[in-house]
Amino acid sequence: MKIRNKTFVVTGGGNGIGRELVLQLVRKGARVAAVDINENSLQETKGMAGEFGIYISLHKVDITDRKTTEALPNQVIKAHGSVDGLINNAGIIQPFVKVNELTWPQIDKVMNVNFNGMLNMTKAFLPFLLNRPEAHVVNVSSMGGFLPVPGQTIYGASKAAVKLFTEGLNSELLDTNVRVTVVFPGAIGTNIAINSGVMTKEQQETQDNVKFKMTAPDVAAQTILNGMENDQYRVLIGSDAKAMDFFYRLNPKRAAKLIFDQMKSLLH
């Protein structure tokens, strides 16, 4: 689906990939409803849009709150007249610890934001998207959604759920006007660990020294939008995600061991 003159909803629009998605969408001629739990971050995103800021509406929303998300489509339509696409980008990671050391509140938070939040948004907007001449749903999973990462097991489980949900949704919508894309980012240079509340800035800098080639958020956003415009079934972001997607299909056990060797220094 082409971007120009369409209206998109982007979750996690206050930082990282979500911010870049908002900025690139409006520069390509779209209108955007930027959704985030942090109002100050949303304001920063709009400010960065400059003259294109008039095409952005800001929505401070906790996507885990079902009643709030159910009310959002009418707010977006009131602001922009219609809604043509939903990009479920918002997500958090867990503390870098083993499952046995995670608390139930930590587990619930990751599952609620990454899976239930995405599900709430999809259920809220899908009836409206089905009434459009053409529409698109993009759900951001993760390389960790198809490859086990020690210390991120619950995060990976939540993103694996996003993966299979998105693939199932695609199959259910094959005979409709709504196309569906699932995205698998590898290591992206964002502040997700800080924003998730699991790392300080200093700890983030230590993680950044682990030898991973990170993809810049603007490149990730551009890759997602290109995939959407080309109606791609799945989008892999970064050389790491592409390489591990191949390796994991070829030899799952060896691929898992490779990731363990790379990540064990971060595991508390």
Contact 139, 118 (CB under 8 A): yes
Calculate the alpha carbon distances from 13 to 9, 105, 196, 235 in Å: 9, 25, 15, 20
Tokens of 50: 């400059």
Per the DSSP assignment, residues forming a β-bridge with 235 are: 183
Contact 46, 23 (CB under 8 A): no
Structure-token match 């220094």, residue found: 265
Distance (Å, whole) CA 164 – CA 44: 34
Residues with catalytic annotation?
155
Contact 140, 17 (CB under 8 A): yes
How are beta strands 178-185 and 234-237 bridged, if at all? Answer: parallel
Compute CA 239 distance to the chain's CA centroid, rounded to the nearest angstrom: 18
| Sign of the alpha-carbon torsion through 32, 33, 37, 38 | positive
Q: What type of residue is 113?
A: V
Contact 238, 185 (CB under 8 A): yes
Beta strands in 12-134 (DSSP E): 31-36, 56-60, 85-88
Contacts of residue 130, defined as CB under 8 A and 6 or more positions apart, other chains included, come to 176, 177, 178
Run of H or E residues at 238: none
